[in-house]
Amino acid sequence: MENRLFPIQTERGAKPHPRQIPWSVAELAYSVYSAKHKGQSLERLAERGGFGPGEMDVFLPDWREKCSELVQLKNIVAIQAELISWYESDSERYSYDDDDVSEDLLEVEKRLRLVQGD
């Protein structure tokens, strides 16, 4: 999972929108864009300021929902539930100073940070 952000341009009269979105959401919009327009890579589009919100509405109509804080919070809750489930099922197998547990917890922490956008 990647923690890159893709810029979204400002546009007069556009609905409220984030100024940056997860790269994965931009890739979804880019797949539609690149089927119609040849030439620029997603990286090049990012260098030039990204898509405008109107373009995003055309390429990926539900992009705002995909980027919303609520969706991100739901993902965080799902990851935390996964961690709790894992802990409850395997807690007897590990001690607190077990290196495997530390590594697993660090991996879960990384996933949470990615979802939160930190």
Q: pLDDT for 27-67, tens place per residue?
A: 999 999 999 988 899 999 999 999 999 999 999 999 998 88
Name the percent of the chain lying above pLDDT 90.
39
* pTM of this structure: 0.59
Burial call 45-75: b when 16+ CB within 10 Å, e when fewer: bbeeebbebebbbebbeebbeebeeeeeeee
